Amino acid sequence: MDIVSENRSFGGRQQVFRHPSNTCGCEMTFGAYLPPQAEDRPVPVLWYLSGLTCTHENAMTKGGLQEHAARHGLAVIFPDTSPRGEGVADDDAYDLGQGAGFYVNATRDPWKPHFRMYDYILSELRALVLDHLPVTDRHGITGHSMGGHGAMTLALRNADLFDSLSAFAPIANPTQSDWGRKQLSAYLGDDETAWHAHDSTILLEEHGWKDELLIDQGASDQFLDLLRPEALAATMARRRQPGILRLQPGYDHSYFFVNSFAGDHVAWHAARLT
């Protein structure tokens, strides 16, 4: 890994790394916040997956997680949302291609050679973080919008690898939403049964989650109809899944929303990781 930048933040270090990715077949960049406690001992890890159009940098600079992570002694990893660079397929639309990896392993061309964000996060980047950073093998995961979808699907399918789970305004039912059907058909093909492994509402119905969930959703979110939190809430009630889904009055889909509740989510994960 090559270090791109390092800044002091709340007594810890906000770093950015670049590395060649065998999984995605290109260079990938990610951010890593190491709290002051990491100077003395390995610390647990909170993964934060970002949404459509974002890079590793958006949540790193706008999410406000560092102050809370420093207080609770958590490292925070900010992966990119897709492969990038020359030779990586792209689309003119903001919601497909670079910046819109949807945390799946694409099986269709032209996406198949590079768009393998599911394996990248779950295996390659996880191994890099464990090998090179002062962290323990205890992991929580959260994310916003497309990243909330990614966090929930990765954790629900791999409960042995994650100890805590939350989300900010996740795309909760992508198989029934225009934010999902377009991308899943492009990346995975027209067989909708193949999409089910990337729909957190379906996965929660099938597998449940081993602990409580925390979901925050802005009640004034301009994309509420695309996110479909009501589908996830109905499944939580039907399955009697322990957890909290909060509709926050007046909040939209922006990083102001994420920043407002970042402290709650970091504390939620810290209680389960430390």
Q: Which residues are catalytic?
A: 145, 221, 253
- More confidently predicted of 274 and 112: 112
Hey, where are the domains in the chain?
1-269
Alpha-helical regions (H) of 1-65: 57-62
Which amino acid is residue 96, in one-letter code?
Answer: L
pLDDT in tens, 130-141: 999 999 999 999
d(Cα 248, Cα 74) in Å, to the nearest integer? 26
CATH class of 1-269: alpha beta
- pLDDT value, residue 167: 98
- CA separation for the pair 81, 94 (Å, rounded): 12
pTM (2 d.p.): 0.98
- Report, as an integer, the average pLDDT of 43-68: 98
Q: What is the CA radius of gyration of the chain?
A: 17
Average pLDDT, the chain: 98
Task: Give the rounded distance of the alpha carbon of 55 from its chain centre.
Answer: 12
Residue 4 pLDDT class (50, 70, 90 cuts): very high
> How far does CA 219 lie from the centroid of its chain?
21
The average pLDDT across 199-216 equals 97
pLDDT tens-digit series, residues 137-187 = 999 999 999 999 999 999 999 999 999 999 999 999 999 999 999 999 999
